[in-house]
C-alpha cells in the first residue's frame, strides 16, 4: 500500500471537512475555504478527528490517485490553518519589483515593464532594502495556485548559470558554470 496514501490526515479543531455525494471535498478553516473534486473511485471517510483516503483495487491508476488525493486534501487542511508563503528575489542590476494591490510591476532588464495581475486568492508584498536584492513575497491558502503563480513569475526571467541573474526562490541553490577560460599560449 502507498505510504503517503495510507497515512491518516489529522484534522485540527478549528477545521471542518465535508464530503458531498459527488466526491467534492470542502475544507473550511480560520483562513478560508477550499474545494477539491475527488475521483469517484477513491473513497474518503472521516473517523473522529482523522480523515482516511482509501482505494478500491491495487491497479496502478488507483495507487497513483490514492497518494495524490491524500496529499491534496492534507495541503488543503494545512492551507486553511497556517497558509503558505513563497519568497522570490530578483538578482541583477536595475531589477525592481513594486506592487499596488494585487498588481505586480516588474523591471527585469528588458525594454519594457512586466505588469502581472495576480489572482485575488494570493496576497503579494514587495520589499526593496538598500544593499539587498528586491524580494517578492506571495501568500495564499491554496498551495497549487501559489506554486503555479510563483513558477510563472520565475519564468519571466529564469536565473542564468553564469552570473546567476534572474528571479530565484530565496534559499535556492543555483548550479553555476565557469565562463570562458583565457587562451593558453
Task: Identify the three-state secondary structure at position 24.
Answer: strand
At 48 the pLDDT is: 87
Tell whether 177 is covered by a domain.
no
Q: Could you tell me the pTM of the whole model?
A: 0.88
Q: Which domain range does residue 18 map to?
A: 3-81
Same domain, 57 and 128: no
Query: With contact defined as beta carbons under 8 Å apart, do 94 and 27 qualify?
Result: no
How far is it, in rounded angstroms, from Cα 17 to Cα 27?
A: 5
Rounded Cα distance between 28 and 138, Å, is 21
What percentage of the chain exceeds 70 in pLDDT? 97
182 domain residue, yes or no: no
Give the β-pairing of 24-29 and 32-37. Answer: antiparallel
- Residues 161, 162, 165, 169: what is their CA dihedral angle, to the nearest 10 degrees? 30
Domain annotation covers residue 25: yes
Interval 107-136: pLDDT, tens = 999 999 999 899 999 999 999 999 999 999
**Claim to verify: residue 92 and residue 163 sit in the same structural domain:** yes
Assess whether 24 and 73 both reside in one domain.
yes
Cβ–Cβ < 8 Å for 138, 123: yes
Claim to verify: residue 68 and residue 93 sit in the same structural domain:
no
- Choose the most confident range, by mean pLDDT, from 37-41, 84-88, 177-181: 84-88
Which pLDDT value is given to residue 179? 82
| Model confidence at 1: pLDDT above 60 | no
Amino acid at each position: 500500500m502507498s505510504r503517503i496514501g495510507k497515512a491518516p490526515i489529522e484534522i485540527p479543531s478549528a477545521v471542518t471537512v465535508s464530503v458531498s455525494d459527488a466526491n467534492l471535498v470542502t475544507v473550511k478553516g480560520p483562513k478560508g475555504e477550499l474545494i477539491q473534486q475527488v475521483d469517484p473511485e477513491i473513497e474518503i471517510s472521516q473517523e473522529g478527528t482523522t480523515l482516511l483516503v482509501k482505494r478500491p483495487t491495487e491497479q496502478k491508476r488507483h495507487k497513483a490517485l490514492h497518494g495524490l488525493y491524500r496529499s491534496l486534501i492534507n495541503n488543503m487542511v494545512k492551507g486553511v490553518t497556517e497558509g503558505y508563503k513563497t519568497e522570490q528575489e530578483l538578482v541583477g542590476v536595475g531589477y525592481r519589483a513594486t506592487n499596488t494591490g494585487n498588481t505586480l510591476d516588474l523591471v527585469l532588464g528588458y525594454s519594457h515593464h512586466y505588469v502581472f495581475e495576480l489572482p485575488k486568492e494570493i496576497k503579494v508584498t514587495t520589499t526593496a532594502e538598500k544593499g539587498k536584492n528586491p524580494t517578492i513575497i506571495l501568500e495564499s491558502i491554496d498551495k497549487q495556485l501559489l506554486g503555479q503563480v510563483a513558477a510563472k513569475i520565475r519564468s519571466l526571467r529564469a536565473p542564468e548559470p553564469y552570473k546567476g541573474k534572474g528571479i530565484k526562490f530565496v534559499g535556492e541553490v543555483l548550479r553555476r558554470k565557469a565562463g570562458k577560460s583565457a587562451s593558453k599560449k
